[in-house]
């Protein structure tokens, strides 16, 4: 995946980093589980998941037990590649949680 040279991360909302941290810490989760567990509106979670998918930081995997609830897995290799940028964003946004 090719990322434009512009600051792609400036378009990344704080909620996206929070969702990424939770998925990395908790393992694969469905959007409703994320919203319920961490008291975040479902719309915010969905928006964050779309942003993270565009950056290839998450993978969407079908849940064969219930196809209405896809699971999102963190892409550890991609997270490792962008570690420095993610840490810089975390500091700039004042995010304390650090699961990755």
- Digit-by-digit pLDDT tens for the chain (100 residues) are 454 444 556 678 888 888 998 898 888 999 999 999 888 899 999 999 999 999 999 999 998 988 889 999 999 898 888 888 888 877 877 776 554 4
87: left (phi over 0), alpha (psi -120 to 50) or beta: alpha
Structure-token pair, residue 43: 């719309």
Question: pTM of the predicted model, to two decimals?
Answer: 0.77
Asked, for residue 37, whether it belongs to a domain, the answer is yes
Q: What is the CATH number of the domain that holds 31?
A: 1.10.10.10
Q: What is the pLDDT of residue 100?
A: 43
Total domains, the chain: 1
- In angstroms, what CA-CA distances link 80 with 29, 67, 97? 20, 30, 17
Is residue 4 in some structural domain? no
Domain carrying residue 47: 9-93
In a domain, 15, yes or no: yes
């Amino acid at each position: 995946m090719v990322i434009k040279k512009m600051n792609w991360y400036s378009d990344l909302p704080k909620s996206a980093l929070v969702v990424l941290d939770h998925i990395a810490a908790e393992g694969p989760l469905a959007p409703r589980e994320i919203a319920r567990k961490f008291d975040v509106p479902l719309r915010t979670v969905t928006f964050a998941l779309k942003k993270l998918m565009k950056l290839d930081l998450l993978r969407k995997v079908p849940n064969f037990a219930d196809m209405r609830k896809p699971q999102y897995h963190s892409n550890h290799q991609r997270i490792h590649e962008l570690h420095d940028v993610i840490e810089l964003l975390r500091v700039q946004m004042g995010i304390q949680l650090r699961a990755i």
